[in-house]
Amino acid sequence: MTDTTTRDLDYLRRLTEAGRHAPLSAGPYLIAGGGWFGFASLIMGLLELAGNPARGNLPGAVFLAAALGFGLHLAYLIRRDRGQTETHSNAAINAAWTAAGFGIFAFWIAATIVAVRHQSGFFMNSIPLLVLAVYGIAWWVAAVVSQQAWMKSVVAATYLGLLVVALAIGSRYVWLAYALALLGTALLPGLRLVRTAARERSAASAP
């Protein structure tokens, strides 16, 4: 093996290791999604517990406001991060979460069409279940790509939360259950990713 080949192999190995250990960038996006929709679910849950169940178009208005807030937040994050170099691991994980987001949005539109056509909002209860099922898939991809074992615990928590929400549908606890599920599967893990990324960048920049 020539010296040139050895240097090339060492260079490729360093690139691979850098990509594997690069800070993950999905944290702020998870905080945005979990925060906006978790807060909307918490509002609905507190109304239910207070004995004032939301009637009429209030649930739709609350979640429409959350969707608008999330959309603006997402636009800000995308604009802020535009042009930044992505490692292969970050690209794969971000693609998984992007696909999850588009899938959830498409299902929400389809569920709304079904609800309007049949004049029944009960089918809309399937949306939180779909969200958590898709979150579990995205977290599993992130765990495998990043090789971070703690993410598999989030996968387990996500599917446990899905079952809890399913059991709570039809009761006054459903929105609180969903808010807690979003807290544990999006907001808190997103905060952990942000803290870890900040710590890794600080360590990398230290002399």
Place of tokens 């709570």: 168
Write out the two tokens for 116: 């309007």
Distance CA 93, CA 78 (A): 15
Whether the per-residue pLDDT at 205 is higher than 70: the answer is: no
Q: For 24-57, write each residue's pLDDT tens digit.
A: 889 999 999 999 999 999 999 998 888 776 666 7
* 145 vs 16 pLDDT, higher one: 145
Whether the per-residue pLDDT at 118 is higher than 60: the answer is: yes
Give the Å distances, CA to CA, from 137 to 24, 51, 106: 17, 36, 17
Whether the per-residue pLDDT at 180 is higher than 50: the answer is: yes
Rounded to two decimals, the pTM is: 0.84
Sign of CA dihedral 108, 110, 112, 114: negative
Burial state string for 151-178 with b = 16 or more CB within 10 A and e = fewer than 16:
beebbebbbebbebbbebeeeebbbbbb
Looking at residue 11, its pLDDT comes to: 40
pLDDT band, residue 73 (cuts 50/70/90): very high
| For the chain, percent of residues with pLDDT exceeding 70 | 85
pLDDT band, residue 18 (cuts 50/70/90): very low
